[in-house]
Amino acid sequence: MGMTLTNTSGDYAMNRLKNMLVADRIGCDRAVFSDIRQDIYHTVSKYFDTSADDIKIWIQHSNISEDDMTENRSGTILCAGIPVNKYIRTKD
């Protein structure tokens, strides 16, 4: 009875195109994504073992839920996928 979700290459391409259009609309190019990736890596690597090359950054249009769940609104959100291997202690 369970419903399975599969993403075809067409679904993937459509989502990628939508994200590219949103990024273009707000004036965010590849250089900006690269700078953001490096800034995130610099911060996260203080706490976790990770690689800048593995960090994925994208911008998408989505419904944003407020903390109190009483209001939904549309907006553009910055998303980051950051794979981490382990927590590391830093000495400040």
Q: Is 90 in contact with 46 (CB distance < 8 Å)?
A: yes
What does the pLDDT read at residue 1? 44
| Side chain identity at residue 35, one-letter code | D
Extents of the domains making up the chain: 13-81
What does the pLDDT read at residue 64? 66
Tell me the pTM: 0.63
Of how many residues is the chain composed?
92
**C-alpha to C-alpha distances, 57 to 34, 49, 61, 65, 79, nearest whole angstrom:** 9, 18, 14, 21, 6
Tens digits of pLDDT across the chain (92 residues): 445 556 788 887 887 787 778 778 788 888 888 899 999 999 999 999 999 999 998 887 777 665 645 556 677 888 899 999 899 876 65
What does the pLDDT read at residue 42? 94
| Side chain identity at residue 16, one-letter code | R
Helices (H) and strands (E) in the chain, counts: 2, 2
